[in-house]
Chain A
């Protein structure tokens, strides 16, 4: 299919120390989808995301990015961007230079790099902060800079590993709303790891509920894409219903993970 961004076919990961990070996983992500990975700690969410970012390779199975192998990424304008759990900014560089970093590494010239960095910063509401240094920013602002650094490359697939886990509820909700805009209005395909059920319920078009020992996808849950993800949605009956259904799935996944862990010992 032409709008398939990512397809995983029976992808497994066994670590050198013998730990089974992932049992065979099948996953397809289509353009414009917001896919969340939720599940108990140790169920392989980060492992899966790093496989997709090609930060390590699978032990078995195959991954396809836009229908070809990883060498195709970066060509024909097909780009990945990764946002980590921490903002991972360079403390010695100001916000503007931090955002420009991927462009610098790609060899984009200074002037157009600066212009694109300004645009990206404006998209996350930090147009005024280019001259400031990471140490002078709040945690939420640092995370925004990190998102701007991902957006500056105009990625076709954004990977985020628990990006807002360290933030307070209020800041997190604001950033969730911004993420929803980026995906549902600007069409940015996103793969999002989170511990927080309400975050997955708010943002996702597709939720993958994962279980551990070994890591696998326990259940898949789709949410209507046409819902407008705003403050009103958070208070709606529909949101509460989605959260409830996800809670049931997550509970079952956790239960299975515990059973599997006991079986192993």
Chain B
């Protein structure tokens, strides 16, 4: 058991090291210029050199990410609660929820950026729109996944609407909600980066997407990779955090 666990950690790490070594070797051997394909050591140097600036940009992107996630969770949960209130409300609203889901938000992002003057708000809105759908659909499905026998039990004891909501529906919805939250967290980051690309905002609140664009214009490819590396690390950290949260919240369930 322990050794199997060790292998499942060691094997991908080893693979990563081998790939990095091959990459480095190939760049050296064929003298590939860094503006075509930087070697891992070039990227590491760029990361070291531009680290403070890039970290600043990362923080800016993460701000948008978290604001968007909060907005998507609050908005998504509210919409889901609204939808389960009555079949009529659901029939009225559901088509629009679906329309919102099938519309590529990237396509309407420029519109949002024009309409909303404050850039951080516009970025957050775009990212939140990208992240909200899994929250809505998962929470909705969760609120509906109540065990019918348990629901009958609550009715038998004449539970009030509020008791049924907080003692039955909300806890029943939690596993689906947590899965939705996990997806939404990833999408918030994607959304933040995409919105920054579209907005192309520089200045003090420039995000990582802007740094990537700028590095591209300046042919500073190692810096581009370094920025990419930071986004990936941020994504992994977010993924790990939500996975941990999910485990903690659902720890007693089978």
Would you call A102 and B157 a contact (CB within 8 A)? yes
Contact of B252 among A54, A86, A135 (CB under 8 A): A135
Would you call A133 and B149 a contact (CB within 8 A)? no
Contacts of A90 in B (CB 8 A): 150, 167-168, 171
Contacts of A1 in B (CB 8 A): none
Would you call A105 and B154 a contact (CB within 8 A)? yes
Q: A101-B157, A102-B157 are in contact. List 6 more A-B contacts (CB 8 A).
A: A55-B152, A82-B153, A86-B149, A92-B252, A92-B253, A135-B254
CB-defined A-B contacts under 8 Å, sample of 19: A54-B156, A55-B155, A80-B156, A82-B156, A84-B149, A84-B153, A90-B171, A91-B254, A92-B171, A92-B252, A92-B253, A101-B153, A101-B167, A102-B157, A104-B163, A105-B154, A105-B163, A133-B253, A134-B254
Question: A135 CA to B251 CA in the complex, in Å?
Answer: 10
Asked if B213 CB lies within 8 Å of chain A CBs, one says: no
Contacts of B156 in A (CB 8 A): 53-55, 80, 82
Asked if A119 CB lies within 8 Å of chain B CBs, one says: no
Contacts of A102 in B (CB 8 A): 157
Question: A54 CA to B152 CA in the complex, in Å?
Answer: 11
Contact of B149 among A54, A80, A88, A134 (CB under 8 A): A88
1/0 per residue, CB under 8 A from B, across A101-113: the answer is: 1101110000000
Contact of A94 among B150, B159, B171, B252 (CB under 8 A): B252
What is the interface of chain A, defined by CB distance below 8 A to chain B?
53-55, 80, 82, 84, 86, 88, 90-94, 101-102, 104-106, 133-135
Question: A84 CA to B147 CA in the complex, in Å?
Answer: 12
Question: A90 CA to B156 CA in the complex, in Å?
Answer: 16
Q: Which of B159-187 contact A (CB under 8 A)?
A: 159, 163, 167-168, 171, 174
Contacts of B147 in A (CB 8 A): 88
Asked if B91 CB lies within 8 Å of chain A CBs, one says: no
Question: A82 CA to B157 CA in the complex, in Å?
Answer: 10
Q: Is the interface of A mostly helix, strand, loop or mixed?
A: loop
**Nearest Cβ in chain B — how far from A226, in angstroms?**
34
Question: A86 CA to B148 CA in the complex, in Å?
Answer: 11
Would you call A104 and B153 a contact (CB within 8 A)? no
Question: A106 CA to B154 CA in the complex, in Å?
Answer: 10
Question: A102 CA to B155 CA in the complex, in Å?
Answer: 11
Contacts of B155 in A (CB 8 A): 55
Question: A91 CA to B253 CA in the complex, in Å?
Answer: 6
**Nearest Cβ in chain B — how far from A208, in angstroms?**
23
Would you call B157 and A91 a contact (CB within 8 A)? no
Residue among A54, A82, A101, A135 with max Cβ neighbours from chain B (10 Å) = A101
Given A88-B150, A92-B174, A105:B253 Cβ within 8 A? no
Q: Which A-chain residue is minimally distant from B171 (CB atoms)?
A: A92
Asked if B117 CB lies within 8 Å of chain A CBs, one says: no
Question: A135 CA to B175 CA in the complex, in Å?
Answer: 15
Q: Which A-chain residue is minimally distant from B158 (CB atoms)?
A: A105
Question: A84 CA to B155 CA in the complex, in Å?
Answer: 14
Question: A113 CA to B163 CA in the complex, in Å?
Answer: 17
**Nearest Cβ in chain A — how far from B63, in angstroms?**
33
Contacts of B171 in A (CB 8 A): 90, 92-93
Question: A104 CA to B152 CA in the complex, in Å?
Answer: 16
